[in-house]
Amino acid sequence: MLKEKTAVITGASRGIGRAIALKMAQNGANVAIIYAGNENAAAETRKEAQSFGVKAETYQCNVADFLESKTTCEKIIADFGTVDVLVNNAGIFKDNLLLRMSETDFDDVVGVNLKGAFNFTKHLSRPIMKSGSGRIINITSVSGMMGNPGQANYAAAKAGLIGLTKTIAKELAGRNVTCNAIAPGFIETDMTASLSAETKENINSTVSLKRMGSADEIANAALFLASDLSSYITGEVIKVDGGLYI
């Protein structure tokens, strides 16, 4: 589906980002794996991606830093020559009730989750436009659509990402570039693996399908949006949440 395409995925060393990178590699895309600090996990993702016979490289980058992101994007272009797909997935949590949330915790989450997407889209928009059928995919969250106690910073960043998605979709449509967002619900990750059985049961009770989703199910949606199958879809937010928010 993505043969000879180049995909850039931020936050790709583990979790949802890793699943997306491997799904795209499995379907023929060369992948640029962006990670914050876990070099070993990034190297493992690269090795597995390369097993599909594609080119895969890793790049350490603080996506919230505008100039560092610019330098990283320049390296990607030098290594791959072009970029067809960008997945803005990098995200962090620093949960707390609003009355207890520090300014630093607010700024850090907005910096990575929202500004990081702006930075990479800004720096890669020209090569994506040159590709002729570029795809930009932003990983938002149902928290950004419905709010969530203890996540004022995270929900605000993810809601902002939806607005960014729709604006980019309008601005780049003339160059045949689509921009869409995926809003996951509760997904099985390293973080949720540590939850107690009771907590998991309580979470599942709020989901229509009565279970958490998998990172691979998010990756399937990303693959669809990156492929020609979604060529007439732009500016959309696709919930992959098992019916959590209906």
Query: What is the rounded distance in angstroms from the CA atom of residue 165 to the CA atom of residue 125?
Result: 13
Residues facing residue 179 across a β-bridge: 136
Closest-CA residue to 65 (of 26, 110, 112): 112
Answer yes or no: are the C-beta atoms of 137 and 180 closer than 8 Å: yes
The tokens for 77 are 């272009």
Choice among 35, 154, 232, 245 that is catalytic:
154
Between the two ends of the chain, the Cα-to-Cα distance in Å is 31
| 154 is annotated as an active-site residue | yes
- Pair 119, 63: CB distance under 8 Å: yes
Q: How many CB atoms lie within 10 A of CB 147?
A: 13
Residue 137: CB atoms within 10 Å: 26
Active site residues: 154
